[in-house]
Amino acid sequence: MKKVAMTGNVAVANAMRQINPDVCAAYPITPSTEIMQQFSTFVANGQVDTELVTVESEHSAMSACIGAAAAGGRVMNATSANGLALMWEMLYIAAGNRLPIVLSCVNRALSAPINIHCDHSDSMGARDSGWIQLYAENAQEAYDNTIQAVRIGEHPDLHLPVMSCMDGFIISHSIENLELLDDRQVGDFVGPYKGTAYPLLDLANPVTYGALHLQDYYIESRKQLHEAHKRAKNIVIEVGREYGKLSGRSYGLFETYKMDDAEIGIVALNSAAGTAKVVVDEFRAKGVKAGLLKPRLFRPFPYLEIADALKGLKALCVLDRADSFGAAGGPLFIEVRSALYDLPKRPVAINKIFGLGGRDLGLDDLRKVFEELVTLLDKGQAKSLYEYITVRE
């Protein structure tokens, strides 16, 4: 184990170096550019055996990844925002062909207007593409998730692509203290690549990719993808537990913070969870039973486990760094509220849309949220189901 100080992007690039994929296809976009920039240095220095393919767009980058993965290679990539959106068509093709590509998504707001800073509109827009999605609070988790993503996606019961997400600039460009595993430990953990189930280069067993499925077969292929996602939850737990034995940092479906006896709580993804923990501690010091749940696995959404973890609350706020325009709340809120539906006694649940385009989420913003939750303990009914915060009226 090696203690270092580095940005989230450099941490992910080092995880990729230790994984040593067969192919990476690169097209730069802020704020994920540094990942491939750093990784290209490893390629140039002969520190990895990776074939780095430079292409003319993110659509081409994912297309190259799909071709390499279908041929039987271990493949990785990184992108953000409009780059992920330009890959949209290919994301569905990667999942539909059951190719275990690992993509680092450095979360950034989608245009227009043009913005290079963090929100989750990019990865949330891709939430139904068939990719497993992991989220990280800090650089350490981004590094750890990248390594685990390889094992998760390549599991023989899955063969699914995995998107590992972290907040742009807030995590990607901030220098943090973290621990890197030894290169050999990572190599042993991910193991040799066994390849996709049906590689194109297995000439003794020829296969077809991109076949036409009309009403005769299409729904069956979708059902198979659905069944794979149903199996993913237990595999994420299994891999996280094994990684914990190796690193001392165990991972599950989500993290709970002071939730055992909590009456009010917040659900938050990524870096906002770290800020929320500070305010939880403040309210605990005042005698308020506050807590936090930070989802790690968003797709597939572990609705049974999250409902069980939240069932003791009386009032709950879900923080969304993306809006689902025209819906009754943001994407995380919709999932959480749906998960709570079958509980015999549900907490009052409200939603706050925050931080779009990189707007800071301050301690005072969260204090106001918790104060509102305290009032809900008496009122039992929210004045507004969901609303924007951190916004100038």
Q: Distance between CA 68 and CA 200 in Å, rounded? A: 9
End-to-end CA distance of the chain: 49
Residue 383 has pLDDT above 90, yes or no: no
User: Does residue 65 sit within a domain?
Assistant: yes
- Cβ neighbour number for residue 350 with a 10 Å cutoff: 22
CA distances from 178 to 9, 246, 247 (A): 13, 15, 12
Q: Do 78 and 188 belong together in one domain? A: yes
Q: Do 239 and 259 belong together in one domain? A: no
Beta partners for residue 163, in sequence order: 103, 133
Question: What pLDDT is attached to residue 150?
Answer: 98
User: Does residue 99 sit within a domain?
Assistant: yes
User: Does residue 319 sit within a domain?
Assistant: yes
Compute the 3-state secondary structure of the chain and give helix, strand, coil in percent, each to the nearest 5: 40, 20, 40
Structural domain range at position 156: 2-247
Question: What pLDDT is attached to residue 240?
Answer: 98
Q: Distance between CA 189 and CA 148 in Å, rounded? A: 9
pLDDT in tens, 224-249: 999 999 999 999 999 999 999 999 99
Residue 265 has pLDDT above 90, yes or no: yes
Question: What pLDDT is attached to residue 9?
Answer: 98
Both structure tokens of 197: 């189930």
Both structure tokens of 40: 């290209």
Domain total in the chain: 2
Question: What pLDDT is attached to residue 286?
Answer: 97
Q: What is the mean pLDDT of residues 117-122?
A: 98
Work out the pLDDT band at 282, boundaries 50, 70, 90.
very high
Q: Which of these three, 195, 230, 247, is where a domain ends? A: 247
Sheet strands side by side (includes 297-299): 51-54, 23-26, 75-79, 102-107, 162-167, 132-135, 297-299
Q: Do 277 and 185 belong together in one domain? A: no
Task: Indicate the Cα dihedral angle 117, 16, 195, 208, nearest 10°.
Answer: 40
Q: Do 242 and 274 belong together in one domain? A: no
Both structure tokens of 49: 């055996």
User: Does residue 185 sit within a domain?
Assistant: yes
CA distances from 326 to 41, 124, 131, 329, 358 (A): 44, 15, 24, 8, 22
Q: What is the pTM of this model?
A: 0.97
Q: Do 227 and 270 belong together in one domain? A: no
pLDDT in tens, 288-303: 999 999 999 999 999 9
Beta partners for residue 165, in sequence order: 105, 135
Residue 195 has pLDDT above 80, yes or no: no
Q: What is the mean pLDDT of residues 311-321?
A: 98
Q: What is the mean pLDDT of residues 149-154?
A: 98
Question: What pLDDT is attached to residue 197?
Answer: 80
- Cβ neighbour number for residue 257 with a 10 Å cutoff: 18
Q: Which of these three, 247, 278, 307, is where a domain ends? A: 247
Q: What is the mean pLDDT of residues 340-356?
A: 97
Q: Do 192 and 43 belong together in one domain? A: yes
User: Does residue 120 sit within a domain?
Assistant: yes
User: Does residue 316 sit within a domain?
Assistant: yes
User: Does residue 76 sit within a domain?
Assistant: yes
Question: What pLDDT is attached to residue 379?
Answer: 85
What CATH number does the domain containing 170 carry? 3.40.50.970
Work out the pLDDT band at 314, boundaries 50, 70, 90.
very high
Q: Do 79 and 174 belong together in one domain? A: yes
Question: What pLDDT is attached to residue 42?
Answer: 98
Question: What pLDDT is attached to residue 352?
Answer: 98
User: Does residue 393 sit within a domain?
Assistant: no
Q: What is the mean pLDDT of residues 275-281?
A: 98
Work out the pLDDT band at 196, boundaries 50, 70, 90.
confident
Q: Do 161 and 36 belong together in one domain? A: yes
Q: Which of these three, 198, 224, 247, is where a domain ends? A: 247
Work out the pLDDT band at 210, boundaries 50, 70, 90.
confident
pLDDT in tens, 22-31: 999 999 999 9
Q: Do 218 and 351 belong together in one domain? A: no
Work out the pLDDT band at 381, boundaries 50, 70, 90.
confident
- Mean confidence (pLDDT) of the chain: 97
Q: What is the mean pLDDT of residues 80-90?
A: 98
Q: What is the mean pLDDT of residues 206-231?
A: 95
Q: Do 43 and 183 belong together in one domain? A: yes
Q: Distance between CA 173 and CA 88 in Å, rounded? A: 25
Q: Do 202 and 267 belong together in one domain? A: no
Helix (H, G, I), strand (E, B) or coil at 232: helix
Q: Do 258 and 241 belong together in one domain? A: no
What CATH number does the domain containing 285 carry? 3.40.50.920
